[in-house]
Amino acid sequence: MLKYDKKGPTSFALGLTLAFEALEKASCLRLYLSPDLAEGETKSRLIAKAREKGIMVISNNNKVFASLSGKENVMAIAEFEKMEKALNPYEDHCLLVNPMNMGNLGTIMRSCLAFGVTDLALVEPCADPFDPKVIRSSMGAFFSLRLTRYKDFESYRAQFGDRALYPFMLQAKTHLGEVDFPRPSTLVFGNEAKGLDPSFLEVGTPLLIKISHSLDSLNLDNAASIGLYELSKQRG
């Protein structure tokens, strides 16, 4: 039975839309087609794209769909190689420190792409960015991002420490909207439960998202989306 293995070399894009994205943008090895996928233009396009790239097409394998998609009605699965992509040193970055929720991670990937930040750094421990659940929640944005994991923040800083860093923290004194982001900048967000360690108050320019007194804080994906949006407004 085929299952996703966190330590394995491949992952899976579940669903027709994600399969097309993977075939176009990832290093795919195999395309699985459900026996329930009707003949028609969509199926023909998938097969043609796979054959164009020399990718094996496997049809009518019920066991694959039962093990990978569970109860979901998935018609196509693309198996692709896990590969991290080096971040562009000249572009803005989004840096997530210890994000643990796969749904949040996928949503932030989508927000990154929506607001023009295509470089995403993750500090471990963190949710597995290659897990099919993350790929699915990103709605395919995963395939358009450069993504690198780091063992700790200092490893990232050693590589990109000469750029402007903006940790988002409740203890920050500077409000988002009061800064002009130089090129390139890195927006830094913390763990869903704990946020960033207080030591980040000494890193770059900590920023605060001003919210109503009715709430203590924002969810990570909401905070990241707001920060990325503000950055995008300055980039035009």
Each of the 236 residues of the chain gets a pLDDT tens digit; together they read 678 999 999 999 999 999 999 999 999 999 999 988 999 999 999 999 999 999 999 987 777 777 777 667 899 999 999 999 999 999 999 999 999 999 999 999 999 999 999 999 999 999 999 999 999 999 999 999 999 999 999 999 999 989 999 999 999 999 999 999 999 999 999 999 999 999 999 999 999 999 888 888 889 999 999 999 999 999 98
Look at residues 105, 85, 87, 86 and name the one whose alpha carbon lies nearest to residue 97.
Answer: 105
**Domain boundaries in the chain?**
10-81, 93-235
Look at the pTM and tell me if it is higher than 0.85: yes
Distance of CA 22 to the CA centre of its chain: 14
Task: From residue 13, give the alpha-carbon distance in Å to each of 26, 34, 147.
Answer: 10, 14, 17
What is the rounded distance in angstroms from the CA atom of residue 123 to the CA atom of residue 110?
Answer: 19
Token duo for residue 140: 């395919």
**Which architecture characterizes domain 10-81 according to CATH?**
2-Layer Sandwich (3.30)
Superfamily for domain range 93-235: SPOUT methyltransferase, trefoil knot domain (3.40.1280.10)
Sign of the Cα torsion 212, 110, 5, 150 reads: negative
**Other CB atoms within 10 A of residue 235 CB:** 12
